[in-house]
Chains A and B, each alone.
Chain A
Amino acid sequence: MTAALQTPASTVRGDSDDQRTQVPAADHRTAEALDRARVAAARVTDPEMPMLTLVDLGVLRDVAIEDGRVVTTITPTYSGCPAMATMRDDLQRELQDAGFEGAEVRVSLTPAWTSDWITEEGRKALKGAGISPPGQAPRRTGPVALTLMPTKRALTCTLCGSANVKLSSEFGPTACKAMYQCLDCLEPFQHVKEI
């Protein structure tokens, strides 16, 4: 699980090549603590899509130890994501349970979250919960093109696998989802939007 978390090497102390053979004991402890902190942080799930961990969702950007204190960094999926405060509380609680008091949770706005950051594990978990995972996010180079026809996505029904599906709304029960219906088995289902 933690392998998916991209942590800049600079945040891992005692990691430079020439020191590898004789790492001071204190750095060993830090590295061990950092591993434990990452494992704990990676347990936290998204409050709106609890089948996904914050790592699966690509929201947990970093776990580091600064001056003996755990500092985690999260990024919002949408500007108005109402779950940010809960994510922060859940991270602090999980880290506290793992023995890290007073963990700090920072917000990172750059780079902006994209649905491409949802991991393979996360995509499987979404499918397993009956939610259609996002395709590749649009890569824009020029001005945003106006799209007056319904967005075309190659989706299959999460229940019966039929490709005969219809978009019912580009907006769903959470900011990150669109609503679809299968025209064969009639199952309505949610699709995580590409952004």
Chain B
Amino acid sequence: MTNEPSIHVDHDEAGANIDHENAYSGLLVNDAHWAFGTDFEDPLAGVDTTVPSGVDPKDLAAYCLMLGDDALVFSQRISEWCSSAPDLEEDIALANIALDLLGQSRLLLARSAAADPSLVPQLPEGSPVPDEDRLAFFREDLQFRNVRLAEVPNGDFAEAVAKILIYSTWRLAIFERLQSSRDSVLSAIAVKGVKEMSYHRDFAGRWVLTLARGTEESKTRLLTALEGLWPLWDELFETHPVEASVAAAGIGVDPAEVADEAGVILDQVFAAAGIERPERDALAGVRGKRGRDGLHTEALSKMLADMQVVARQYPEGQW
């Protein structure tokens, strides 16, 4: 044979051999690149977390916990779609949206812990679990302060886009105002969040249009989803005393203030989609208590059991 087997060795810029037989060789150079994001790090490292004057740190912390829990619980719900969406593009889109919300939640929970460390659950000495993870994984269901919309169990794809549309329309209106918070951390989280959630709202709005103007089946499913979610709309704009307190201090936003604006935007989507705003009564609280008071549906407890089980099993675990 004249055709001698040849060994071809590529070199990267640093002159190291590139091994084409081993797809993982590049990763082995740096362990951190195997699965980045699993490392613990303070998301607010070096950020000035001094509580501004004129606000009770406990109110600021409670407020951040409310916003952080909304984002965390809704992120977890959306991430349950991973590998189950109608096609790969939507699967990735939903995962991206969940990731953005998780990032927002992480910053909000970290901000909450920095403002009032007494909120953070105690773990055994030496546990490496950072504050925001302690808040996410080691609180009981009744300690969560999210609105009940965030915890609604997933239905079909129409339900997912309807829920994302409602959530992001409400939330974007709040975050647009929160950008001018006197708390520089909350303001920074809001500035970034507005950019991200603009994409979420557009994504969901486009899908609502597509489904509404698609087939009878897709339209029926969308209308059913909206009917089912609508009883949770009013709760989004109810003012909890903590929200009233931080709004008065120029730190937070009174959700009641954004009700008209959010309603107008949603009506624009409905008009473009040729559908009507659902007419359903609001879901009552229990003795006046709702999500912000720690009163939730059973679905949240089940979701948290699933979300928290591994972290709780290994409170001293290194990941």
Contact = CB atoms under 8 A, between A and B. Distances in A.
Interface of A: 47, 71, 73, 76, 78-86, 88-90, 104-113, 143-144, 146-151, 168-173, 175, 179, 193, 195
Interface range for B? 35 or more
Main secondary structure of the interface of B (DSSP, over half): helix
Given A80-B101, A169-B89, A73 B36 contact: no
Contacts of A86: 32-33, 36-37, 39
A152 B185 CA distance: 33
A82 B319 CA distance: 14
Contact of A148 (B40, B93, B107, B209): B209
A83 B37 contact: yes
Interface string B293-310: 000000000000000000
A47 B36 CA distance: 9
Contacts, number: 138
Interface stretch (B1-9, B143-151, B199-207, B223-231): B199-207
Given A79-B193, A112-B188, A148-B205, A47 B33 contact: yes
Interface of B: 30, 32-33, 36-47, 89-90, 92-93, 95-97, 99-104, 106-107, 172-173, 176, 184-185, 187-189, 191-196, 198-199, 201-203, 205-206, 209, 261, 265, 268-269, 272
A79 B189 contact: yes
A168 B90 CA distance: 10
Which 3 A-B pairs rank lowest in CB-CB distance, beginning with the nearest? Answer: A106-B46, A80-B103, A82-B37
11 contacts: A80-B102, A80-B104, A83-B36, A84-B41, A88-B41, A109-B188, A113-B192, A143-B261, A148-B205, A169-B90, A171-B92
A61 B99 CA distance: 24
